[in-house]
A and B are shown apart, each in its own frame.
Chain A
């Protein structure tokens, strides 16, 4: 049995890159879908709010791994065979949309109702009220928890290893299977995850501090 070499390390680095690609893909698509979920959750029409709430409840109450199995194995049964990367990205997108939609709904609703009243009294449309008055204020509140959630998404990309997508977790399994040095190999994988997540966590905390001393609402 050979030892852990530079080749192995480079292999892990390359897999880390795929972890990042999957994270960006999932988070990017998930943000778009999450924005739609947020709009639906705050819609004036009752049934749109109801349907979107059911969607959020179902996704939040289902393990991401089950969603991934449904997309990867489930769709294959009905003839839709997706590549592992795509299946993982779609599953994570669905997961992101439910959580980001809820996070952002809370932020939008934490902007005092009187702000939208004032905007609508000035003749602004509902969309203009949202984009010019509500979102700029909600985004400041939303940034720390959104960055915090990004850390969760990054770590959850490890689940894609189960359907054979070679990201960081899968790559370390592959190496360990041949070297059988689990402490070393998974330790390095953990350190690589940490190196990605820690700066994001710090950023989230720094943004939160900045927000707390930032401009406040008028009384």
Chain B
């Protein structure tokens, strides 16, 4: 079976600084891959290249057979297939939870208003926030906002979900509820690429862990690799207690 997401020798520069120096990896359908590494290791950039929030200088990126680096790419079709959740939630503050979730289905999929409400109800049930459907983002805790952001992404029925340090802005006691939602998604067979600092989550939930260092894939393996790091860089990264 072909990969859901595949990167081949991807190079990305911001001006003079090369942040990705030949990154290659695959994510199989239904697989959960955690990407770890220091700030500046290029892990978030790699993720953002997958749905072309960043364009690359060379290499190939494919998502479900669609070439992301092709300039003639149907960007909106790609983004219908790839959901993304951000560190800062990025909910739309002027819209209610239901409106946040149904905006894209209504505008992009042309779902009628009555059906859209149903989509919101269903998506919120999946993240355990059914009672917040008519709240505004500012009335929710950070953890709740992030769960709504996940629900908003799910409502578009993506084939792949990207998570960009989604718990980094949360207080420790709020990260659990978000990770629990992600774990349930993973068990449900969602293809997930997760940039994270949560080592326990990476170890327990991810099928595979990728350690990035200085713009390269440095070490990769099952969650167990975190207990037995092979390279001094990963050992040092883990020892610094993130």
Chain A residues at the B interface, C-beta cutoff of 8 Å = 112, 114-115, 117-125, 128, 132-133, 136-137, 140, 215-219
Contact = CB atoms under 8 A, between A and B. Distances in A.
A128 B169 CA distance: 28
Contacts of A120: 79
Contacts of A119: 92, 103
Nearest to A124: B107
Secondary structure type dominating chain B contacts:
mixed
Contact of B93 (A123, A125, A215): A215
Contacts of B201: none
Nearest to A137: B94
30 contacts: A114-B88, A114-B90, A117-B86, A117-B90, A118-B90, A118-B91, A119-B92, A119-B103, A120-B79, A121-B82, A121-B84, A122-B79, A122-B103, A122-B104, A122-B108, A122-B153, A123-B104, A123-B108, A124-B104, A128-B108, A132-B103, A132-B107, A140-B94, A215-B138, A216-B93, A216-B138, A218-B88, A218-B145, A219-B88, A219-B142
Residue in A115, A122, A125, A137 with the greatest tally of chain B CB atoms within 10 Å: A122
B93 A137 contact: yes
Interface residues of B, number: 29
A123 B94 contact: no
Interface in B198-233: none
Given A114-B90, A122-B79, A137-B94, A218 B103 contact: no
B163 interface: no
B119 to A, nearest CB: 13
A112 B83 CA distance: 20
